[in-house]
Amino acid sequence: MNTSASFQGGSSPFEFFKFDLTTPVSEKVPSLEDRFSDFPQPTQDADLLRQLSFIPGLKEILMLRQVHALEHATVWVLSESKSAYPAKGEPTKVQRDNELLGGLSTEQGFYLYGEVNISDLRRAVTLARHRLTSGEWDLAVHPRCGTNLSVAMLLTAGLAVGVHLLLPFRPIEQLIGLGLAATTAAELAPDLGSMAQRYLTTAIPFNLTIENITRTRDVWGREAHFVKVSWRDFGG
């Protein structure tokens, strides 16, 4: 996804309903691409927080979603060989995944597990945020995210219960049904997990400022780098 996240100043959400009777109908109907090209907007989370500030924990939830996206993008950037930008002649859409790297997001920042030079990590975090806020929104989604596993488990459980209730209560039919449920869940889970990440568990980190990166241990005693971030109320 490489659309721009910028929007024209002074525009109003009600301009969508303005009609020009001198313009042909075919030219007045906006395409879906044009209609959604301005989303996500840099100020959307900050605006939501201002409007619903009375909801306990809302800021932490919004911040966690943005940190989650930054964590994924940082892993993608670190996984790219040699440079964060593809060499001439290489496909620009190919994403490389270093399975030795992993992360854990919190509302204050994220832990990065794996052997990595702190200078490289600092550059990767800065570049990851820049690329996300510049339109490379696919970097917010990662196939090894725990969201995918959660979706797979819920989907498998739901299909298994449905099969159990719909099929006759005989061992053969139940075993076949459970096998079909597991197979179906395995096929659907990656795509549904990616959708869940894109629309529920991550958000473009327009409001995050990178404070510092330290070598530390997580709550389980595992060595990691911690990327501490803070919230800012302006977009961009």
SS3 label, residue 191 = helix
Where is pLDDT greater, at 208 or 234? Answer: 208
The predicted-structure confidence for 23-38, as pLDDT tens digits, reads as follows: 443 444 444 444 344 5
pLDDT, one tens digit per residue, over 199-210 is: 999 999 999 999
Helix H segments across the chain? 25-28, 32-35, 44-51, 58-79, 118-133, 146-166, 171-196
Q: Output the CA–CA distances (angstroms, integers) from residue 130 to 115, 158, 161, in the order listed.
A: 23, 39, 44
How far apart are the C-alpha atoms of 64 and 6, rounded to whole Å? 23
Contact predicate 37/3, CB 8 Å: yes
What is the distance of C-alpha 28 from the center of its chain? 33
Q: Check pLDDT > 70 for residue 224.
A: yes
Check: CB of residue 79 under 8 Å from CB of residue 101: yes
> pLDDT (tens digit, 9 = 90+) per residue, 172-203?
888 988 898 889 989 999 999 999 999 999 99
Q: Measuring CA to CA, which residue among 76, 82, 70 is closest to residue 94?
A: 76
**pLDDT at 100 (0 to 100):** 87
The pLDDT assigned to 43 comes to 87
CB-side exposure of 66: number of CA atoms within 13 Å? 30
pLDDT at 152 over 70: yes
Exposure string for 163-184, b = 16+ CB within 10 A, e = fewer: beeebeeeeeeeeebbeebbee
pLDDT tens readout for residues 105-131: 999 999 999 999 999 999 999 999 999
Sole residue written with tokens 């979603």: 65
Q: Is 12 a residue whose pLDDT tops 80?
A: no
Is the CB of residue 39 less than 8 Å from the CB of residue 170? no
* Rounded to 5°, angle at Cα 55 from 53 and 60: 80
Residue type, 69: A
**Which pLDDT belongs to residue 171?**
86
CA gap 199, 140 in Å, rounded: 10
